[in-house]
Structure formats: C-alpha cells, structure tokens
Amino acid sequence: MQRYCVIVDGVAGGARLAKSFRARGYRCIHVRAFPNSDERLLVDFDPTEFEQLLDYDGNFDLLARRLADTYDPAFVAVGCEEGVELADRLNEVIGRPHYGDELRKRLRHKHLMNRAVRQAGLPAPVSFSARTRDEAMQSAEAIRSWPVVIKPKDSSGADGVRLCHNHEDVRVVAQQLFSTPNIMNERNTEIVVQSYIPGQKKLTVDTISDRGEHFVVSIWLDQVVVTQGGAPVMRGARLIPGSRPDALAAAQAARRCLDALGLQHGPAMTEFVECNNAFYFIEINARLCGLPTWHEEFQRALSFTHDQIYAAWLCNEVDLRLSLAQPYHLAGHVWWVAALSSRDAVVRSFDGLELISELPSFACILSCAKAGERIRPTVDLFSFPLTALLSNADEGQIIRDFNAFANIPDDALFSFH
C-alpha cells in the first residue's frame, strides 16, 4: 500500500524533509502556501523529490478535499514559516495534532506572540500593532525610548525589519512597509512597533514539542549587525554546546515561552536577546531551523539535526524523552557565516575563493552571487552575496576565522562591472 505525506513549503531548513520521508517509504506531495512569493524563498528546493507539486490558491476546502481524496496523507509537515498556518489547518482536517485558529494566528503574528509572553510575566519588548503610518508613530511615542524596532506582523527572514532612531525614521519606514509587498508578495496591512532590547548576545533555541513537553535539539549564538539602512541582520550563527550555562538558561527560557504561547507539539525556533542576565523573548517561528543543518558539517557536529528529529518524530520512530532528555554534546564547532553587500552593482566575477579558503576553518561555500547577477545592499537574510560554513575542532581558531571573514570587504570577494 502506498503511503503519502504532505510537505508545506519544503524549503530552507525543511529542504531535506522529502528525502527523509522517501527513505522511510513515503511518497511526498509538496504544497506552496504563497505561489506568488519571491523566488528567493525557494532556496535549496528540489522538485524531483516530490510526486506532485501543488500551489495553494486560497481555496482551502478544495485543496483539503483533493489531498484527502487522492492521497489520504498520513501527516502534514511544515518546512518554513510561510507554511505554518496552512500546514496546521491541513493537519486539523486529517485528524493530526494541530494548534487551532487562535494559536495559529499567534504563531505568525509578532505582536500577538509577544503579548502572550508578556502576559505570562516573562521578559519581552514593549509591543504595539499599527495599521497606519500615524498609528506607528503614535506607538513609537508611547514606547518612550529610542531606538524602536519596526517589522511586518508576519515577516520572514528579517524581511522589512528596521531599527528606527527617531520619528522621521518611523514615518519613512512605516510608509515604505505599507506601500511595498512583503517577501510573500502580499501587501503589509499591519506592522509591529517594539522597544529595542540592547543586549550583546542573541540566542536561538530549536525545539521539538510532544504533548506539552519541550525538547531542545540545538542552540545557536547569533552574530547580528545593523546595516547602514537600519536593518538588523544575522551575519553568523554558531552552534554552541547544549551544556553551556547560557545555553541551559536559554533552553529553560524557551520552554517557558512555549508554555506561555500554548505550543504543545511540533518544531519551533525561539529567539532571545540576553540583557541584564535575563532572556528577552524576541519571536518564535513554529517550524524548523532555517539554517542548512542538513549539511554534513552539521551532521558531524550533532548526533541529529532539527529536520532529522522532526521527521523521525512524525513517523513515530523516536522517543524524545529518551533521545533528548540530556543537553546535547558537540563533536566539533560549526559556524554559518554570511558576507554583507554595501553596494548596488552587477557582479563580474567571484574573486575571493582563495582568500576565504585559506582560513583554517573554511569548510565550503553554500551560496554565491554569479557573474552577471545584480547584488544590492544587504537588508535581510535574502540579500547576502555569499554564505559559507566554517568548521573546526578548535574553538579559538574558528572564532579567529569568523572575525577574519567578517572583516573581508565585498570588493575583495567580487569584482563588479
């Protein structure tokens, strides 16, 4: 008997889910939640892994009937955050664990999730929701401290996130967001204005939850910089041991936030900023880690990765209480790194391979702008001209190599027309 599963937006961190399910004997159906979204969201997507590729056109009942009648899927998996709501609605139809309408909205709406965490008495930024430019400016005034952070209510990959230092910044950014489609090619009808948490350390905790218990899979120390345009972007993410004191504290903070939000099952990545010995909740994404943890460097460092444990959990192959009861250990240090672009120009050639490959920790290039491709100043996770992996058993060496990489200017990596 043929077994089917559905993957909604199997891209980024979920790009290898189909391979995992196929290895277990499933035939995979792919559903794209936002068919008109920016093509950059299709990073690492391999259509050959799927029996059928479907686009969601907004008619949920028709899609649900087609999937149920034709394939009778065993479960629906979510690959990235654009597909969180649609995947959950489909799981509800086929009788799998699901969040329900209220929690679905909260898991994508950055003000609602923030409010739930604050109402539980946990550290989080002051947050307001605004539907007009004037409301955004009033919200910034109500926060009474600068800078403030402005973002779409359901942004992805730092799309549209900006740091504003005064009322004029807020006016300009709000107007831009309300008049520009987001990465899903949809109009921003609501934005979020939040107080800025000035911590020096940002951590992301990847979890799998099962019947209300939250199990930590991996924890990342993120290196965030603010670009000239006021966009806070992550230019590096370092996998850290689960037994480090800050990792243990972040893991406990994540469990409290997941409880406050009401998330009882499935994958999540929860972002924090550490400030004055407290972990301030920034946001949650109820999906897999967005980094390429399927890469062999991560496979060697961890005994399992977020996508692997998610696939095994959906297929009822793993007891999370046995597998993830203790903090994980690392077999090596791995760092995802990104180069920033400071210019709007057309690439003539990539000249920096030798410069990067000389770093002792260099592992591989993950993505790179090609000859003839136009690059623009980096403003989000979709506008890096180059990403790479560093890997080393020596923690000191990988730190030195990251700092060296971060100091390489884009004109040393590329020549331009």
Kindly state whether residues 174 and 213 are assigned to the same domain: no
Q: What pLDDT, on the 0 to 100 scale, is given for residue 185?
A: 84
**Average pLDDT value for residue range 4-22:** 94
- pLDDT of 120 strictly over 80: yes
pLDDT (tens digit per residue) in 46-62: 999 999 999 999 999 99
| Of 49, 48, 54, residue with least CA distance to 83 | 54
- Could you tell me whether strands 162-164 and 148-152 are parallel, antiparallel, or unpaired per DSSP bridges? antiparallel
Q: Which of 162, 195, 228 is the last residue of a domain?
A: 195
Residue 116 within any structural domain of the chain: no
**Cα 32 to Cα 10, 11, 42, 79, 194, distances in angstroms:** 8, 10, 10, 10, 31
Is residue 230's pLDDT more than 90?
Answer: no
CATH number at residue 46: 3.40.50.20
**Boundary (domain end) residue, out of 195, 226, 250:** 195
Question: In the structure, what pLDDT confidence band is assigned to residue 160 with cuts at 50, 70 and 90?
Answer: confident
Residue 351: which CATH number?
3.30.470.20
Within this chain, do residues 85 and 130 fall inside the same structural domain, yes or no? no
Tens digits of residue pLDDT in 391-403: 999 999 999 999 9
Give me the pLDDT at residue 199, please.
83
Residues 227 and 186 in one domain: no
* Same domain as 289, residue 181: no
The mean pLDDT of 134-153, rounded to a whole number, is 95
pLDDT digits (tens, 9 = 90+) for 209-225: 999 999 999 999 999 99
> Is 143 inside any structural domain?
yes
For 111, the token pair is: 């003000």
Q: How far apart are CA 272 and CA 278, in angstroms?
A: 9
- pTM summary value: 0.95
My answer on whether 291 and 404 are in the same domain is yes
Summarize pLDDT for 351-391 with one digit per residue, the tens.
999 999 999 999 999 999 999 999 999 988 888 999 999 99
3-state secondary structure of 72: coil
298 and 231 part of one domain: yes
Q: What percent of the chain has pLDDT over 90?
A: 84
Please, what is the average pLDDT of the chain? Answer: 94
**pLDDT at residue 200 above 80?**
no
Residue 105 forms part of a structural domain: no
Share of the chain above pLDDT 70, in %: 100
Q: Are strands 76-78 and 127-130 parallel, antiparallel or unpaired?
A: unpaired
Calpha distance 112→284 (Å, rounded) = 11
The pLDDT, as a whole number, for residue 274 is 96
For residue 231, is pLDDT > 80?
Answer: yes
Quick one: 224 and 335 in the same domain? yes
How many domains does the chain fold into?
Answer: 3
**118: in domain:** no
How far apart are alpha carbons 198 and 339 in whole angstroms? 24
Q: Which two tokens stand for residue 334?
A: 């791995």
In a domain, 131, yes or no: yes
Residue 392: what pLDDT? Answer: 97
| Residue 287 reports pLDDT greater than 80 | yes
Q: What is the mean pLDDT of residues 52-79?
A: 96
Picking from 57, 81, 98, the residue at the C-terminal end of a domain is: 98
Give residue 320's pLDDT: 94
**Claim to verify: residue 344 and residue 249 sit in the same structural domain:** yes
Residue 228 has what pLDDT? Answer: 78
- Both 240 and 378 in one domain: the answer is yes
In the predicted model, what is the mean pLDDT of residues 90-119? 94
Whether residues 352 and 407 fall in one domain: yes
**What pLDDT is attached to residue 229?**
78
Helix axes 133-143, 167-179, angle to 10 degrees: 140
- Within a domain: 138: yes
Name the band, by pLDDT with cuts 50, 70 and 90, for residue 294: confident
Residue at 115 is within a domain: no
Averaged pLDDT for residues 254-260 = 98
Return the pLDDT at 382.
Answer: 86
Q: Give domain status of residue 326, yes or no.
A: yes
What pLDDT score was predicted for residue 1?
A: 72
pLDDT at 39 over 80: no
Beta strands in 154-312 (DSSP E): 162-164, 191-195, 201-210, 213-226, 232-240, 266-275, 278-285
Domain that holds residue 93: 3-98
Is there a single domain that holds both residue 172 and residue 264? no
User: CATH number of the domain that 159 lies in?
Assistant: 3.30.1490.20
Asked if 401 and 321 sit in the same domain, the reply is yes
Q: Where are the beta strands (DSSP E) in 146-230?
A: 148-152, 162-164, 191-195, 201-210, 213-226
- Average the pLDDT over 256-268 and give the result: 97
Write out pLDDT tens, residues 322-349.
Answer: 999 999 999 999 999 999 998 999 999 9
